[in-house]
DNA sequence: CCGCCCCTATAACCTGCGTTATCTCTTGTT
DNA sequence: AACAAGAGATAACGCAGGTTATAGGGGCGG
């Protein structure tokens, strides 16, 4: 392993959830592969393929989607630097989604079978991995609300606001926060809309000074404004740092029915 | 603890994912509370409340939802006997959803802080808990597809087909498989539709002999027919039994970029 | 047993968004 | 340089599903 902790993406990600000791850090490093480069439009994997590893996304953007029989497509997730890609496929032998690169990316592979190693060796890391998937679920829940109960304007604004928040978690420069490599087609497939209607909605947003668009990129000009349009509330992205501190808080057994 | 393994809901659920030994079974039993009864329309918890435990659902039905500012509601999940309720809130100090009882229920509480105990003591249980949340994510993904890219007919048929499949996992009698305590309002809120349109769609389904409805219950008369309408594919509910066997399958390190 | 509320059905009307069709402008390929 | 392929803008048209209104039925608390 040529990794050291400075450049390891997984270590940085894990640390955002809680303190880990030298031993755990070493364990992570020893199980991670070095970064690989992937060009735009490259397919990390397709639905149905053998599911043998997951990745940490060091640079670039990728997105998970599913193709339907009728030719349409549903985008399920957008991943930005610092995210873990494919962890949820742990429970399946074959991939249940496909993943494509949206912006030239650098990823570190992490063989799935090594997770068992981690579960057997580190209580802290087990908790953190569990917590990561739990928080991913929270994001999916919010996306369900978005698809089920919001108008096109709200959907688009909410989605952009969420991504903006997730980007701010990482230490990327402010500039890159603002320009998202998302085509109108990708957004349409993420939001259950048609590309035409995304275009219409962007026209409104542009007139209102909320965004500008350019060559399959969206620039966020007024994030507060977008949040207002969407009724955005970031409670579901709440920092979880500190949840693991205090090894065993009082257990308040609820024996009353 | 008055539980023994015969009546423990969590042990039965866990065992459907893989073999566990005596020690793990004892660990689970010692951390679980006895079952409590909850009447219809009772609220297990509301969004924003302290998040201190999760539950296993022994009998009855409950559903998780979120209320929106504009008065509408999104149903996020329907839980049937054997399911674990609230595991995903592990990563949050406050509940991010609300949960209400749809049919008179019996639940066992499982204090959240005890999960750490499990992670530190059992590699097998850690893997299984992780796998459970990963599979829950797969269900949420499929629901995203449902909300994003399917017509009202397909949404409704797919949702009913999924629940029917999940019911068949448990050992409840066939009769209860067929009658689901789901009002048209609940279904509308789950599918991002209006109650009126659910009613219209049910009329079609009734004429086609797919379902019958009665007093806030849906009876599934022709499950194959519903699956056909929905284009249902159960790959995302695939049994994961055996995924953990073979302690460390060959690790096929992908070092090639 | 009454009254209220929830659930359902159905009709009439309306609109947000899908569909289709051009046209233009990039960008990447040979 | 020529070309194909992808991305976007905009207009015209249509429909799936939302909204509102009305009315009937069953369950349940008082």
What phi, psi does A99 have (nearest 5°)? Answer: -135, 130
Residues A41 and A87 sit within 8 Å (Cβ to Cβ): no
Q: Where are the alpha helices (DSSP H) in A21-172?
A: 22-31, 114-121, 123-149, 152-169
- Dihedral sign, CA of B113, B139, A149, A73? positive
A68 CA to C29 C1', in Å? 30
CA distances from B230 to A69, A70, B71 (A): 11, 12, 29
Q: Does residue B115 have a pLDDT over 70? A: yes
Inter-chain residue contact B74 with A137, CB threshold 8 Å: no
Residue A2: pLDDT band with limits 50, 70, 90 = very low
In a domain, B1, yes or no: no
Inter-chain residue contact A134 with B87, CB threshold 8 Å: yes
Residue A31: pLDDT band with limits 50, 70, 90 = confident
Residue B6: pLDDT band with limits 50, 70, 90 = low
CATH of the domain at A54: 2.60.120.10
Q: Nucleotides of chain D within 7 Å of a protein C-beta?
A: 6-12, 16-21, 26-27
CA distances from B215 to A187, B18, B182, B184, B219 (A): 40, 39, 9, 10, 11
Q: What is the pLDDT of residues A76-91, one digit of tens each?
A: 999 999 999 999 998 8
Least trusted range by pLDDT, from A147-151, B81-85, B152-156, B223-227:
B81-85
In a domain, A221, yes or no: yes
Q: Can you tell me the mean pLDDT for A28-34?
A: 86
Q: Can you tell me the mean pLDDT for A56-69?
A: 95
Angle at A125 between CA A27 and CA B86, to 5 degrees: 160
| B213 burial level (CB within 10 Å; 0-12, 13-18, 19+) | middle
Inter-chain residue contact A248 with B138, CB threshold 8 Å: no
Q: Can you tell me the mean pLDDT for B113-140?
A: 91
User: Which residues of chain A make contact with B145, given a CB cutoff of 8 A?
Assistant: 66, 68, 74, 76
In a domain, A59, yes or no: yes
Q: Does B42 touch chain A (CB under 8 A)?
A: no
Range of the domain at A204: 9-256
Residues B246 and B169 sit within 8 Å (Cβ to Cβ): no
In a domain, A1, yes or no: no
In a domain, A193, yes or no: yes
Rg (C-alpha) for chain A, rounded Å, is: 19
User: What is the pLDDT at residue A255?
Assistant: 45
Helices A195-207 and A152-169, interaxial angle, to 10°?
80
Q: Does residue B248 have a pLDDT over 60? A: no
Q: If you write DSSP's letter for every residue of B157-168 in order, what string do you get?
A: HHHHHHHHHHHH
Window 154-183 of B: residues touching A by CB (8 A cutoff) are none
Least trusted range by pLDDT, from B14-23, B118-127, B152-161, B165-174:
B165-174
Chain A / chain B CB contacts < 8 angstroms: 195
Q: Can you tell me the mean pLDDT for A62-85?
A: 96
Encode burial over A34-66: b for 16+ CB neighbours within 10 A, e otherwise: ebbebeeeeebbebeeebbbbbbbbbbbbbbbb
Q: Does residue A247 have a pLDDT over 60? A: no
The kind and range of the H/E element at B229 are: helix B223-230
Question: Where is pLDDT greater, at B19 or A233?
Answer: A233
Angle at B97 between CA B60 and CA A81, to 5 degrees: 130
In a domain, A4, yes or no: no
Per DSSP, the three-state class of A193 is coil
Tokens 């630097």, residue located:
A81
Q: What is the pLDDT of residues A216-236, one digit of tens each?
A: 999 999 999 999 999 999 999
Q: Can you tell me the mean pLDDT for A84-106?
A: 94
Helices A152-169 and A223-230, interaxial angle, to 10°?
130
**Nucleic acid strand C within 7 Å of B216 CB:** yes
Beta bridge partners, A35, equal A108
User: What is the pLDDT at residue B169?
Assistant: 80
CA distances from B198 to B150, B188, B195, B224, B232 (A): 14, 6, 5, 20, 19
CA distance A252 to B136: 27
In a domain, A19, yes or no: yes
* Nearest neighbour of B88 by CB, restricted to A134, A147, A255: A134
**Structural domain total, chain A:** 1
In a domain, B127, yes or no: yes
Inter-chain residue contact B140 with A141, CB threshold 8 Å: yes
């Amino acid at each position: 392993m040529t990794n050291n902790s400075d450049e390891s993406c997984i270590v940085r990600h894990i640390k955002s959830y809680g303190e880990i000791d030298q031993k755990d850090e070493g364990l992570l490093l020893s199980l991670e592969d070095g970064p690989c480069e992937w060009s735009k439009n490259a397919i990390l994997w397709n639905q149905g393929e053998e599911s043998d590893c997951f990745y940490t996304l060091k640079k670039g953007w990728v997105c998970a989607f599913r193709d339907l029989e009728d030719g349409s497509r549903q985008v399920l997730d957008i991943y930005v630097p610092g995210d873990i890609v494919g962890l949820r496929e742990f429970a399946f032998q074959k991939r249940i989604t496909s993943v494509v690169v949206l912006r030239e990316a650098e990823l570190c592979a992490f063989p799935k079978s090594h997770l068992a190693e981690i579960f057997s060796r580190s209580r802290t890391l087990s908790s953190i991995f569990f917590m990561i998937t739990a928080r991913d679920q929270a994001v999916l829940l919010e996306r369900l609300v978005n698809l089920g109960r919001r108008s096109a304007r709200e959907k688009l604004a909410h989605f952009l606001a969420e991504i903006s928040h997730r980007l701010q978690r990482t230490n990327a420069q402010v500039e890159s926060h603002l320009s998202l490599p998302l085509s109108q087609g990708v957004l349409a497939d993420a939001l259950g809309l048609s590309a035409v209607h995304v275009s219409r909605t962007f026209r409104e947003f542009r007139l209102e000074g909320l965004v500008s668009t350019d060559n399959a990129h969206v620039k966020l000009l007024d994030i507060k404004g977008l949040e207002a349009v969407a009724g955005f509330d970031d409670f579901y992205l709440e920092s979880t740092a500190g949840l693991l501190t205090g090894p065993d808080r009082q257990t308040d057994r609820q024996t009353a029915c």
